Amino acid sequence: MLASPRFRDGSFRNTHRVSPGLKGNPLPTLGEYFFGGSQRVPRVPLPLLDPHEGWRAPPETGLRTTWLGHSTLLLEVDGARVLTDPVFGERASPVPFAGPKRFHKPPVAIAELPELSAVLISHDHYDHLCRASIQALVARDVPFVTSLGVGARLEAFGVPASRIVELDWFESWQVEGVDLSFTATPAQHFSGRALHDRNHTLWSSWVIAGPRHKLFFSGDTGLTDEFQQIGATFGPFDLVMLEIGAWHPSWGDIHLGPENALRAHEWLQGKTLLPVHWGTFNLAIHAWDEPAETLWAGAASRGIRLLTPKLGEVVEPARIDVPQAWWRELQPR
């Protein structure tokens, strides 16, 4: 950590000067958060598909994805399997009795997941690093790859140090036994799980590369021109997974939102865009499906190829011709 160019005076820094706090006068935003927004939670149960049947045979195209909620995905890449930001707990919170509660149960339990090649943790926020989920995954003989400093969190949750790989931006790691690599890349965000540990660990976006396919996973981030460098250095990407939810102009420097996600996708030289970080927790002011609806309209106007699977749906991106606006079937707009 001390050797990292991003670590100064005891904490990590973004490349550009941005604050994790609310921009402008926070009172209207806080009032809206606590007293407004009747549509932040779905009015009806969200459709959940059982992925087991889809996982029985390997993907014919070599690339397949299953969205399990929020930023949790099972990625099948050229014979390897990666689980991203596994959050299977009931709440994204430090306590079990309060905090943002799931809209839906996980489409599959951790014990029912197929054999994994690696678990990817982008950063240490509660909606990306779930203690109960990590403890359940400890029983599997699988390596964990994460951002610099997050390894101490994983060790505290019971992960053996020998199974933890921590990377600084532009450092890479090759998974033993499979042809798959991870490269930590810049993101514009912050970290911490309590009042006293702000930015004590690093946050990253990620390049995941097999022999035939390359993927980009944003973790949490605001729009940064560093995505142009990532696209030029590592792109084009067969699949780009970008956060679109939990967004508001007041914290627009540290979360993308749908419109900036479209711009980031173009900078990254992505072929297909899969939105994440929505549809599972009430973490913002907007209606629960607003990010997907805005993304849908923007992608159509820009000619961006969009992938919008249902929860638990097993999908090969190369075989999807038309995206589905499944949320419209639940709550006609």
DSSP state string for 99-114? S-B-SS--SS-GGGS-
pLDDT digits (tens, 9 = 90+) for 220-229: 999 999 999 9
For residue 155, how many other CB atoms are within 10 A of its CB?
A: 14
- Its pTM stands at 0.95
Token duo for residue 9: 């005076």
Instruction: For the beta carbon of residue 68, count every other beta carbon within 10 angstroms.
Output: 24
Show Cβ contacts of residue 300 under 8 Å, excluding neighbours closer than 6 positions: none
Measure the CA–CA gap between 181 and 98, rounded to whole angstroms: 38
Domain 44-329 has CATH 3.60.15.10: yes
Instruction: Give the pLDDT of residue 248.
Output: 85
Percent of residues, the chain, with pLDDT higher than 90: 86
Question: What is the C-alpha to C-alpha distance for residues 33 and 238, in angstroms, rounded to an integer?
Answer: 37
pLDDT at 36 over 90: no
Residues 78, 63: contact at Cβ < 8 Å? Answer: yes
pLDDT tens track for 88-146: 999 999 998 999 999 999 999 999 999 999 999 999 999 999 999 999 999 999 999 99
Residue 3 neighbours by CB under 8 Å, 6+ apart? none
pLDDT (tens digit per residue) in 152-195:
999 999 999 999 999 999 999 999 999 999 999 999 999 999 98
For residue 333, what pLDDT is reported? 47
**Whether 257 contacts 225, CB under 8 Å:** no
Cα–Cα distances (Å) from 139 to 110, 142, 159, 163, 310, in that order, read 10, 9, 9, 12, 29
Sequence-distant (≥ 6) Cβ neighbours of residue 91 within 8 angstroms: 98, 99, 100, 101, 102
Question: Are the C-beta atoms of 169 and 123 separated by less than 8 Å?
Answer: no
Q: According to the model, what pLDDT value does residue 26 have? A: 56
The domain ranges of the chain are 44-329
Distance CA 169, CA 164 (A): 16
Q: Which residue has the higher pLDDT, 24 or 313?
A: 313
CB atoms under 10 Å from CB of 2, counted, come to 6
| Integer Cα distance of 227 and 266 in angstroms | 9
Element (H, E) at 291: helix 290-302
Structural tokens at position 117: 């090649």
Average pLDDT, the chain: 94
3-state secondary structure of 182: strand
Q: How far apart are the first and last CA of the chain?
A: 48
